[in-house]
Amino acid sequence: METKKDTILILSGGMDSVTLLYDYKERIALAISFDYGSNHNAKEIPFARLHCERLGIEHIVIPLDFMGKYFESSLLQGSEAIPEGHYADENMKSTVVPFRNGIMLSIAVGMAESRELQYVMMANHGGDHTIYPDCRPDFVAAFDAAAHAGTYNGVHLISPYTNITKGQIAARGKELGINYAETWSCYKGGDKHCGKCGTCVERKEALADAGIPDPTEYE
């Protein structure tokens, strides 16, 4: 029996969402990337497009220019503003883009209702909880309830990786045969991964935890 294509995936082009794309490829009808003016959007989005083309999944990019103009975040202020260190460090809070997931999910839910699709999916994980309020289980539950209540077809939010680590996601990617060289993590968005920002440190740890030789080219 063929799996129904009933889901929209928010796809950045990073390790987590690319893994989710392959993990649930049979049910993803559409993947959406958002260009919100971050340093690394230009690096991530081409990888999102590459994987969707490979899998034959429709992919669109929606611009959110206003976030770069009006929101305060080091992620929107150029590579020199990005702090170095581990995600657990206090200074990493500067990389929070206020309510980013809430905004993106709202658009995706509207798209799902417009296309009569039942689910929206995002790739938050357990390691995000410390820094990002809109990645935590209570946010996921609240947004799922709001999406279901606010749409005629009762759209639901699915976030399968909420309570697992990035290392466990990488291990799943290893099972799926994903080449993580075809993903982007670095918040600085240079020609190569910097190797020092929170996302680079987390990427290195996740690949090591999964027993995957790191294919990333670092500065």
Displacement of CA 94 from its chain's centroid (Å): 18
Is residue 64 marked as binding? no
Q: Is residue 111 part of an annotated ligand binding site? A: no
Residue type, 78: G
Residue 16 annotated as binding site: yes
The sign of the CA dihedral 49, 51, 56, 58 is: negative
191 is in an annotated binding site: no
Q: Is 213 exposed, middle or buried (0-12, 13-18, 19+ CB in 10 A)?
A: exposed
Q: Is 194 annotated as a binding residue?
A: yes
CA–CA dist 13, 50 (Å, integer)? 9
Inter-residue contact 93 to 72 (CB < 8 Å):
no
**Residue 134 assigned ligand-binding role:** no
Ligand-binding annotation for 122, yes or no, is no
- Is 18 assigned to a binding site? yes
165 annotated ligand-binding residue: no
Q: Is 135 annotated as a binding residue?
A: no
- Whether 176 has a binding-site annotation, put simply, is no
Which residues define the annotated binding site for Zn(2+)? Answer: 186, 194, 197, 200
Which residues define the annotated binding site? Answer: 11-21, 186, 194, 197, 200
Which residues define the annotated binding site for ATP? Answer: 11-21
